[in-house]
Amino acid sequence: MQKNHTITTDDILIKLCHSLADVLSRATESHIKYSPMVQKINKTSLKPDIGCFVLFDGGFTGLVVTNFSATAAMELYQNYMLRMGFPDTDIAIHHTADDVANILGELMNQVVGDFTGKIGRELNISITQNQPKMLALHKQIILSVDTNLDRPQVRRVSFTTAKNNIFYLELAMDKTEFIQLEEFEIDEQDPDAIFETAYDAQQQQNPVISFNKNTENNHANQDLLDQLGL
């Protein structure tokens, strides 16, 4: 990487947007795009119809929230299930079904994993994430990062599906700049990409494995949701 290169909070946000659009586009075999205009907001929140949040920590601390309308959630879910070879009879028809939350939660896990992997290699830092929590909601829930942020920055970006359904990404993190003092080489090899082809092949042969795993993760994360009062 070039010496004295600087990465800002907004640069990190753009990389997160790239990961969200790229992962969802590949997973659903559809075109997902995001608005070039970013909105500054004062707080993050989960909103109806389906909301998801993921915390990450390490080189920097932050909170990622995605809010899906019922139509956007069902479009992404159904496209993914059809791509994985599920018959129509096995696909949920309502956004409140556990299947929808499980699949969208797994997709968001892949999104944040893609983001933390890429930003970690580029900045040469370590970032950890928790398992995404996906909830069907009837009212808004305010969320905040459980740490003291000196200069909190909160952003919202709108995304559009192939059928023009809208969903939103929100990012909360401290205002920061990563300033490179010495030159170093970025490891371009993505460990996740090495297994991506094999993973897709395995899912095509037995897609129910991913579904069962998501169901187990959903039950395993209930204790954290209880602590948050959700």
Per residue in 186-221, pLDDT tens?
665 554 553 454 445 555 555 554 445 455 555 555
Quote the distance between the C-alpha of residue 72 and its chain's center. 15
CA atoms of 141 and 163, how far apart (whole Å): 27
The number of distinct structural domains making up the chain is 1
Q: Whole-number mean pLDDT of the chain?
A: 83
What residues have CB less than 8 Å from 35, skipping those under 6 apart? 157, 158, 159, 160
For residue 230, pLDDT beyond 70? no
pLDDT tens digits, 63-99: 999 999 999 999 999 999 999 999 989 999 999 999 9
Does residue 185 fall inside a structural domain? no
> Does residue 44 belong to any structural domain of this protein?
yes
In a domain, 2, yes or no: no
- The Cα–Cα gap between 119 and 122 comes to 5
Looking at residues 170-186, what average pLDDT do you find? 83
Q: Which domain holds residue 122?
A: 8-180+190-227
Q: How confident is the model at residue 28 (pLDDT cuts 50, 70, 90)?
A: very high
Residue 94's CATH number:
3.40.1550.10
Q: Identify the residue with better confidence: 136 or 21.
A: 21
The confidence score (pLDDT) of residue 222 equals: 57
What per-residue confidence (pLDDT) applies to 25? Answer: 97
> Hey, how many other C-beta atoms are within 10 angstroms of the C-beta on 83?
17
